């Protein structure tokens, strides 16, 4: 599955990361931990509580279940005017 990254995360690792999930999926927290291990350059930013996870374009909590085929994105806080 593809994980979409935005803002400073995309600047560091590109717009998409490919990840294989088990059929049973995992929680957002487990996915975040895995990405921090596999992409150490993202660990400091990705582990920040200000980085929100979205599943199928809906903001999701850390215990939300991610299943193969879901669209997952990690989004930093937005600013602008």
Whole-number average pLDDT of the chain? 92
Dist CA 8 CA 36 (whole Å): 15
Residue 11 has pLDDT above 80, yes or no: yes
Q: What is the mean pLDDT of residues 1-5?
A: 94
Decide: helix, strand or coil at residue 13: helix
Residue 81 has pLDDT above 70, yes or no: no
Residues 6+ apart with CB under 8 A from 1: 18, 19, 20, 21, 68, 69, 70, 72
Q: Over the stretch 27-60, which tens digit does the pLDDT of each residue have?
A: 999 999 999 999 999 999 998 889 999 999 999 9
Give the CATH H-level superfamily of domain 2-75: Beta-grasp domain (3.10.20.30)
Percent over 90 (pLDDT), the chain: 84
């Amino acid at each position: 599955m593809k994980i979409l990254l935005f803002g400073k995360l995309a600047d560091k690792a590109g717009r998409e990361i490919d990840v294989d999930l088990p059929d049973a999926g995992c929680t957002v927290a487990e996915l975040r931990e895995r990405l921090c291990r596999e992409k150490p350059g993202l660990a400091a930013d990705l582990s920040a509580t200000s980085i929100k996870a979205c599943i199928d374009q809906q903001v999701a909590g850390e215990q939300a279940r991610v299943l193969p085929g879901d669209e997952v994105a990690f989004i930093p806080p937005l600013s602008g005017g």
